[in-house]
Amino acid sequence: MPTYTPPLRDLRFVMDELLDVGSTFKSLPAHAETDIDTVMAVLEEGGKFASEVIFPINQSGDREGCTHDKTNFTVKAPSGFKEAYKQYIDGGWAALSCDPEYGGQGLPLTVNQAFYEMLNSGNQAWTMYPGLTHGAYECLHAHGTPEQKATYLPKITSGEWTGTMCLTEPHCGTDLGMLRTKAESNADGSFTITGNKIFISSGEHDLAENIIHLVLARLPDAPQGSKGISLFVVPKFLVNADGSLGERNKIFCTGLEHKMGIHANATAQIALDGAKGWLVGQPNRGLQAMFVMMNAARIGVGMQSLGLTEVAFQNALAYAKDRVQMRSLAGPKAPDKPADPIIVHPDVRKMLMTAKAYAEGGRVLSIYCASLIDTYLNHPDEAVRKEAEEFVALLTPIVKAFITDNCWIATSHCLQVFGGHGFIAEWGMEQYVRDARINMIYEGTNTIQSLDLLGRKVLGNQGATLKKLGAQLEALAEECEGNEAMQEFIGPMLKAAELWSTLTFEIGKDAMTNPELVGAAAVDYMRVAGHTVFAFWFAKMAKIALEKQNSGDDFYKAKLQTARFYFAKLLPEIESCAITARAGLKPLMETEAALA
Residues assigned a catalytic role: 443
- 3-class DSSP state of 233: strand
DSSP string across 387-445? HHHHHHHHHHHHHHHHHHHHHHHHHHHHHHHTGGGGGSGGGSHHHHHHHHHHTTTSSS-
Tally Cβ neighbours within 10 Å of residue 193. Answer: 28
- φ, ψ at 558 (rounded to 5°): -65, -40
- φ, ψ at 547 (rounded to 5°): -65, -25
Cα–Cα distance, 492 to 476 (Å, whole number): 13
Q: Are 194 and 182 in contact (CB under 8 A)?
A: yes
Q: Are 257 and 441 in contact (CB under 8 A)?
A: no
Residue 569 CA: distances (Å) to CA of 170, 360, 407, 561, 573? 42, 15, 16, 12, 8
DSSP character for 46? H
Report the candidate in 593, 426, 584 with the shortest Cα–Cα distance to residue 507: 584
Report the candidate in 250, 254, 268 with the shortest Cα–Cα distance to residue 202: 268
- DSSP helix, strand, coil percent of the chain (3-state; round to 5): 60, 15, 25
Residue 191 CA: distances (Å) to CA of 194, 217, 277, 280? 10, 10, 5, 11
* Helix 487-511 × helix 573-581 angle, to 10°: 10
Q: Are 85 and 268 in contact (CB under 8 A)?
A: no
Cα–Cα distance, 499 to 492 (Å, whole number): 10
Cα–Cα distance, 446 to 452 (Å, whole number): 10
Residue 2 CA: distances (Å) to CA of 56, 61, 121, 319, 461? 9, 14, 11, 10, 46
Amino acid identity of residue 140, one-letter, is L
